[in-house]
Structure 1
Amino acid sequence: MEDVKNGILKYLSTFQTGVKVYDERIEQGFHEPCFFVLIIDGAQNREFNRRYMRTDSFDIHYFPDPDNPEKRRECEAVADRLYEEMEYIQWEGSLYRAVGLKHQIVDDVLHFFLDVNVHLMRPKGPETKMRTLKQEAGIRG
């Protein structure tokens, strides 16, 4: 899921000129406007044999320009753009699809939520080789 997070961070760094992007290690005294990306939840379920489905939920915070008197409108505009452009997340040749996109604005901060499902295949373990089998045949009379 680090690849998905890196893809989100890379996209957000090109989203708007002059808007900084922070990951989970947010610094004291960060400068607004900015994005902050947080993995809020993760789960993994076994599907079949060696196949697994891993789901991570992300919360992308957007802190609007503090000098803008219409912070809520700015957050709504950013949310609209994120809906349009965050359906697919690309990182180093892989494409991940985001699902469950939704947003809310709390205290003039946009929270944009998305989930990413990734199919995983565990490597095969060492195979147990068959031991010697002795077989006899005969005719009964």
Structure 2
Amino acid sequence: MAVEINLAFLVSGLADKLAGLFPGIHIFANPSQQFMNSVLDSEGKHLPCFFIIPRPGATIKKGIDRWYWQPLYELVYLTDLYTDTQQYEFQDVAQLLDESLETFIANGAIIRTYNRKWTIELQALHYMIDIKQFVQLPKEEVVKMQTYTLTEEVKLDG
């Protein structure tokens, strides 16, 4: 039986994986830029935190009997700005992600990640991942042939 996988399940699975790796750290799924700015301006009450953001460039290509789907994600880790240990903290978080994020579970399916890479820019850790999945689109209900009973009569003109 096929397992349903969609963007919401992937984000939920990533959030669950991050919550297990970083207990007590806030995780925000697909936030708007305005929300991200409000988190930063709120005197650090949500820091440290992760944002799970879909990256542009996701693709889906038709295969013979299934589709090849490649959604892209960026995990942004923020912590208190301008501390003496911020760079070391980013490196520790990146190392734990490198060691632990090869797979995660989404709606019961094991999802493998590819092309994991990270950078430290604008006082944040940016951890990029690609996901490559073969998927089948739901099939439309096809109206099946129905039975028709034909009653034949012979009329004689008479």
TM over 0.5: yes
Aligned partners of 2:39, 2:92: CA distance in 1, in Å? 25
Quick one: which of 12, 20, 28 aligns to 2:18?
12
Mapping 1:66-85, distance limit 5 Å = 66=81, 68-85=83-100
Aligned partners of 1:87, 1:102: CA distance in 2, in Å? 12
CA contact 1:58–1:113 (8 Å) conserved in 2: yes
Matched, 1:47 2:46: no
Structure with the higher helix share, 1 or 2 = 2
Amino acid at match of 1:4: L
Matched, 1:95 2:101: no
Aligned partners of 1:3, 1:82: CA distance in 2, in Å? 20
- How far has the Cα of 1:124 moved from its partner? 4.8
Cα 1:67/1:108, change in 2 over 3 Å: closer
Matched, 1:116 2:131: yes
Matched, 1:35 2:35: no
**Unaligned regions of 5+ residues in structure 2, if any?**
1-6, 41-45, 146-158
| Aligned CA-pair RMSD | 2.1
Amino acid at match of 2:17: Y
Matched, 1:25 2:31: yes
> What is the TM-score of this pair, normalised by structure 2?
0.72
Matched residue pairs, number?
128
Aligned partners of 1:128, 1:91: CA distance in 2, in Å? 34
Aligned partners of 1:128, 1:92: CA distance in 2, in Å? 32
- Runs of 4 or more, structure 1, over 6 Å off, are none
Amino acid at match of 2:128: F
> What is the TM-score of this pair, normalised by structure 1?
0.80
Aligned partners of 2:71, 2:83: CA distance in 1, in Å? 33
